[in-house]
Amino acid sequence: MVFRVESTAEAELDSIAILEWLMAQQAGDAGLRWFLALDDVIASLATLPQRCALAPENARFPFEVRQLLYGRKPHVYRILFTIRGDTVYILHVRHGRRKRIGDLQ
């Protein structure tokens, strides 16, 4: 089964913030390649999204939340998503060092 992959507004804002950070760090072509590869990794969820583990914060939600990890330490990003029917919804793209969703500030 092939799934449709859609990003929420929050995930789009997350991606824009990551790209802006890369440009501010003058990452150049390497940063753009990394960012484009992030899009490819997200698109890979169209095939077998259940391969990804449940996110640590899954129990806090009334629906299943999974995560796909992208990058190499210390720059690992967590792509948080849920599956409904034949659609994968990207909820957030967060740096792995950030606090989990729902953790107290």
pLDDT tens string 71-80 = 888 888 999 9
Question: What band does 19 get if pLDDT is binned at 50, 70 and 90?
Answer: confident
Residue, of 70 and 97, whose pLDDT is higher = 70
Give mean pLDDT, residues 15-28: 84
| Domain range summary for the chain, segments of one domain joined by + | 4-95
Please state, for a pLDDT cut of 70, what percent of the chain lies above it: 90
Residue, of 41 and 20, whose pLDDT is higher = 41
Give mean pLDDT, residues 36-55: 95
Report which residue type is found at 90. I
Report which residue type is found at 42. I
CA angle 103, 46, 30 (to 5 degrees): 75
Given phi > 0 = left and psi -120 to 50 = alpha, else beta, which region is 21? Answer: alpha
Superfamily of domain 4-95: RelE-like (3.30.2310.20)
- What is the residue-wise DSSP string for 1-38? -BPEEEE-HHHHHHHHHHHHHHHHTT-HHHHHHHHHHH
- The pTM (predicted TM-score) of the whole model is 0.86
Question: What band does 96 get if pLDDT is binned at 50, 70 and 90?
Answer: low
